[in-house]
Structures are given as structure tokens and as C-alpha cells.
């Protein structure tokens, strides 16, 4: 599913005063060369958004009939135009049967046209552009940058985790002409994927958050993963800034990639004594983190409205990027206090426990939703966060874990090794789902074993029956396992409790 973003739209609230018309993102005429298209059945006056999904399309959007794994967007063109799309982008093969449905831009290949529009958006932009990649923390770092720079100028950033071959050009195509700061996430599953995306984004600043053992099914080693992440520097604008994690084992390898690029400066961050942006002290609290840092020798103390050491370390990269684009460090550090983890990436919600009093916070348990994705590095970080979570008098720290996918031949050992951070963080109970997680299950101490099942669906009942007041429950696994259904089951079964201790609908 995609999200149709309309530049200039305000958040939906009711009641509200009439809003001015949405800003023009593209004129109908400008789209012809930008898409390498011919027009059929007329031209729209203006386009105010870009969509590839009729479920989220808004009036004024340009609909791209992209072919996906499960469906072909051409089947939804008529519906998109009926729902108010300004026009649709279709290929030559489907154009004859779609004529008469509304304004069309006819191209050879729809995805190639989206890439062309993304490149055109980047070419016309005068923004400071930042690109982010890494094995862990891409999306949270992108969101932290959005928050840090959002109060300093007009900021545009990738929606959700739109970081692949269609997500990056889609995010670029949605960038308004007058953007001052553009922030883009770049991801990969295999070698050679980052380079073309970075060359499309053409960042002034490129960040690699960290390199870890992810997607090992497609890479022979972690060093090879570092080489693939280092491709981000291939797109740097001349004189650009490369920002690297000084604490990571692959720092020197990444530095070599940066030196071979057009980077004019390399900036390091971390706890390492030689880091340019260095954390001198990280104070971890259950709901927040305090960082005492040196930013190029200047002392900075700030609060992050999200817990976790990995979040704190990535915030150093955020400050380095703000400095690199001549932003205000003080305003950026202040803005990080409002950073909250999104759904699936550390979101925290208190739910009423079985038999608990809704008016009594002690009658609730804490749910930490880390269900969006997982790899060994992010799993360890999430277990560390669970270890920092407050529990009640009878509360326990409970980890609900599903398989980490795409780890190749090392999968069994990497899953079993999670027992280390489980012990280190005093996790009381572990619920495990999936054949790979069975290797961890066998490594667990008997008293730590909650329940095991082949799938998260089979584990739901055991988790629902076990939670009680005072517990802290963290759910994590790779997206393909559908472990998020356990988060949904907990939220559906136990009402949320607001900060005043009252039940919410």
C-alpha cells in the first residue's frame, strides 16, 4: 500500500476552517517531458499529489498504473479517475482500451516514467538533500532528521519506509519545488541496489547508520554488506559530506568507499574517542534518553523522546547532518525531544491487564511494538530496550520473537546467539515462533521458556493468556513472519490506557 501525500495539506481535524487549495506539485504541461510521455484525452491543469494505490488516492493525484507482484495498476485506472485522480500514467499496451476514461499520460514503461519524474523533481530542486542507509535505524534516523529540520525550513521526507526501486522515485516525485530540506531513505536486499538509488537522489549528505549481519542469504560476509552500503557515496554531489559510524567494525571499509567518491568531507559519529560527533554519556530511561555529546568539540546536552542506545547513537548522525547543511544545532537538539517511535518500530502503548482496574496504572502492562522487521543487530537493540523497561511489582520482561529472515547459512547460530542479550537484560520469559527461532528456543534456560510455535498465529493464545499487570512485553520479528498479528491481537483484546490511567476506546 502507498500513501498519497499532498504537499501543503494540514493534518485532518474537525471542525476546521476551509483550507486553501492544495499546492500545485506539477503542471499538466510540465509532466509531458518529465514523464517522457504523450498525452491522450486532454491534460489536467494541475497535479497536487502522486499515488500508486487507489486505496489512498486523493483528488488531484496523478495515478501511476504500476505493475506489482500481485496486481497490475492498469486494472484500477478507471477507478482512480472516478475517485478524482487528475490523470493516470499508463503504458502503450493498455492505452487503447483505457482511452475515454479520462486524461492519460501514455509511456513505454510506467515504472520507468516514475523514475523519470523522480529525476525531474530532483533536477528542479534547490534543497539540501540528505540520504540515509544502514543495517539498522534507517527509518528512525530519517524521521529524526525530518523532526530536527522541520522547524528550520520546508522539509520533505520519504513516507514510511519507501526506500526501494519504486519507493525512492515515488518519494522524489512528491518533493515540492520549494523544498528546503529533502530527506530520503535508501534500502537494499542485494548488491548493486543502493548505487542507482543514490545516483537518483544525488544527496549533499549521505549517512550510513551502521553495518550488521542482515540479508546474509544474498551476501558472503558482513564486509560485502558494507561494500553494498558504501554504494550510497556514489551518488554524492561534488564536495558532499559522508557521515559514518565510528564505532562500527566496518568503519575503515566504508571510509575507503567515501574517499573514492566525490565527498569533500568525512564525518564520524559514535562513542569512539576519535569520533567528530561523540557521545560522552548516554543516560537510558524507560521512556526517553538523555545524551551528553561533543559536536565538533562543542558541548551539547539534549533529550530524545524515545528510549534506546541505538536511537541515541543515530541521533549523533542527525546532528552531524544538520551541521553539514548549515542548520541550527540548538533547534535540532531541542526538536529531538519530541521524537516518538512509530508503530512497529518501538511504539509504546499501555494496555489494561487481565483483571486490572482501568483507573489504576498498576493494572496495566506495557506493549513495545517492534514488529516491523528484524535482524541480529536490531533484535539485540530491541532486547536491550526491553531490559531498560520499567516493570511493576509482579511484572516480568517478556520477549515475543519470530524468525529473522534472509540470514542464509548462519541463520541457526545467529538465532541461538540471541540468548546472550536475553540473559544480559534479565528477560524473564521468551515466546518464540518459527523454525529458525527454534534454535534460540533450545538455547534458552528452561525457566525462561514461555511457549514455542511454528507460526506467530499459533502463538497468539499463549501470549494472551500469559500477560498480566506490570509486565513489559516486546514483540519483534521479520516482516514476512507476520508477527505484527500478535501486536494486533494484544491491542484488540486489551483496551488501551491513556496517561491518566483511564481506558480509551
State which H helix or E strand residue 104 sits in. Answer: strand 104-107
Is 139 annotated as contributing to ligand binding?
Answer: yes
Q: How far apart, in whole angstroms, are the C-alpha atoms of residue 63 and residue 69?
A: 18
Single out the residue of 144, 70, 61 nearest to residue 105, CA to CA.
Answer: 61
Reduced to 3 states (helix: H, G, I; strand: E, B; else coil), residue 258 is helix
Is 179 annotated as contributing to ligand binding?
Answer: no
Yes or no: say if 374 and 432 are a contact pair by the CB < 8 Å rule. Answer: no
Is 138 annotated as contributing to ligand binding?
Answer: yes
Q: How far apart, in whole angstroms, are the C-alpha atoms of residue 79 and residue 118?
A: 24
Cis peptide leading into residue 15 (ω within 30°): yes
Three-state SS sequence of 41-74:
CCCCCEECEEECCCCCCCCCEEEECCECCCCEHH
Q: How far apart, in whole angstroms, are the C-alpha atoms of residue 141 and residue 149?
A: 12
Backbone angles phi, psi at 375, to 5 degrees: -150, 170
Residue 309, number of CB atoms within 10 A of its CB: 17
Is 137 annotated as contributing to ligand binding?
Answer: yes
DSSP classification of residue 336: G
Residues 6+ apart with CB under 8 A from 147: 335, 336, 338, 339
Yes or no: say if 133 and 209 are a contact pair by the CB < 8 Å rule. Answer: yes
Binding-site residues for ATP = 134-140
Binding-site residues = 134-140
Amino acid at each position: 500500500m502507498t500513501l498519497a501525500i499532498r504537499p501543503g495539506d494540514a493534518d485532518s481535524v474537525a471542525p476546521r476552517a476551509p483550507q486553501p487549495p492544495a499546492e500545485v506539485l506539477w503542471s499538466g504541461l510540465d509532466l509531458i517531458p518529465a514523464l517522457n510521455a504523450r498525452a491522450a484525452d486532454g491534460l489536467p491543469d494541475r497535479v497536487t499529489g502522486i499515488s500508486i494505490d487507489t486505496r489512498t488516492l486523493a483528488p488531484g493525484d496523478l495515478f501511476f498504473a504500476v505493475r506489482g507482484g500481485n496486481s497490475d495498476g492498469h486494472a484500477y485506472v478507471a477507478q482512480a479517475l472516478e475517485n478524482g485522480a487528475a490523470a493516470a500514467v499508463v503504458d502503450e499496451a493498455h492505452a487503447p482500451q483505457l482511452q475515454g476514461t479520462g486524461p492519460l499520460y501514455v509511456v513505454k514503461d510506467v515504472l520507468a516514467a516514475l523514475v523519470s519524474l523522480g529525476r525531474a523533481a530532483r533536477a528542479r530542486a534547490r534543497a539540501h538533500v540528505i540520504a540515509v542507509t544502514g543495517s539498522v535505524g534507517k527509518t528512525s534516523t530519517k524521521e529524526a532528521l525530518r523532526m530536527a529540520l522541520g522547524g528550520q525550513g520546508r522539509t520533505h521526507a520519504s513516507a514510511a519506509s519507501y526506500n526501494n526501486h519504486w519507493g525512492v522515485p515515488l518519494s522524489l516525485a512528491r518533493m515540492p519545488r520549494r523544498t528546503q530540506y529533502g530527506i530520503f531513505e535508501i534500502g537494499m536486499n542485494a548488491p548493486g541496489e543502493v548505487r542507482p538509488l543514490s545516483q537518483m537522489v544525488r544527496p549533499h549528505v549521505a549517512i550510513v547508520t551502521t553495518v550488521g549481519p542482515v540479508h546474509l542469504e544474498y551476501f558472503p560476509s558482513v564486509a560485502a554488506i558494507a561494500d553494498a552500503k558504501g554504494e550510497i557515496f556514489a551518488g554524492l554531489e561534488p564536495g558532499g559530506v559522508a557521515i559514518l559510524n565510528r564505532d562500527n567494525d566496518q568503519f575503515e571499509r566504508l571510509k575507503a568507499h567515501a574517499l573514492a567518491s566525490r565527498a569533500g568531507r568525512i564525518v564520524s559519529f559514535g562513542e569512539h574517542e576519535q569520533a567528530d560527533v561523540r557521545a560522552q554519556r548516554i543516560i537510558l530511561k524507560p521512556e526517553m534518553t538523555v545524551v551528553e555529546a561533543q559536536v565538533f568539540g562543542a558541548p551539547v546536552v539534549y533529550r530524545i523522546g524515545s528510549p534506546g542506545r541505538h536511537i541515541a547513537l543515530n541521533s549523533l548522525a542527525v546532528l552531524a547532518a544538520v551541521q553539514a547543511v548549515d542548520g541550527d544545532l540548538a533547534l535540532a537538539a531541542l526538536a529531538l525531544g519530541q521524537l516518538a517511535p512509530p508503530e512497529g518500530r518501538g511504539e509504546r502503548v499501555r494496555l489494561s491487564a487481565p483483571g486490572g482496574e482501568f483507573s489504576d496504572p498498576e493494572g496495566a502492562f506495557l506493549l513495545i511494538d517492534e514488529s516491523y522487521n528484524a535482524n541480529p543487530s536490531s533484535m539485540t537493540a530491541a532486547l536491550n530496550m526491553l531490559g531498560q523497561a520499567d516493570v511493576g511489582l509482579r511484572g516480568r520482561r517478556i520477549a515475543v520473537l519470530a524468525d529473522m529472515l534472509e540470514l542464509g547459512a548462519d541463520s541457526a547460530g545467529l538465532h541461538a546467539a540471541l540468548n546472550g542479550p536475553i540473559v544480559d537484560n534479565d528477560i524473564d520469559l521468551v515466546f518464540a515462533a518459527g523454525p529458525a527461532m527454534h534454535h534460540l528456543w533450545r538455547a534458552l534456560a528452561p525457566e525462561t521458556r514461555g511457549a514455542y510455535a511454528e507460526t506467530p498465529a499459533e502463538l497468539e493464545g499463549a501470549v494472551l493468556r500469559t500477560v498480566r499487570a506490570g509486565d513489559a512485553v516486546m514483540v519483534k520479528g521479520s516482516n514476512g513472519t507476520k508477527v505484527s498479528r500478535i501486536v494486533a491481537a494484544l491491542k484488540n483484546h486489551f483496551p488501551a490506557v491513556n496517561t491518566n490511567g483511564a481506558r480509551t476506546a
